[in-house]
Structure 1
């Protein structure tokens, strides 16, 4: 079972663009949610306590992780653990 990865982004955010490039380069499937151009997503982000982009949510069964910023090292550690 693969994790569900959701990335909340601002389309003009440099770290968001770099994170998306890294995910695509590493062939990691993710759901992109634009908090600027989609009011429903902005509300979802706010209600979940989101403040900064990118914010990545990783769910693997009952295990859940939140990564703030384009912290690739942290994402790698989490994904290595969840893909074992």
Structure 2
């Protein structure tokens, strides 16, 4: 099975975009549902406890979204 790099790149872009939308809307989920769980905070504070945890967490979240999107695009069937 050959991997189509163009398709994988598109999947990575879609995955990163989806992760970005999720990160943007997550504060609304926290307010609406009262659950104090934040993906970007969890990821960022796993790496650093400094004030840089938010951009670090967002970067990790976007990278993970891109990786999952690329992997899905590589194995999904038309």
TM-score, reference length from structure 2: 0.28
Greater helix share, structure number: 2
Greater strand share, structure number: 1
Larger radius of gyration: 2
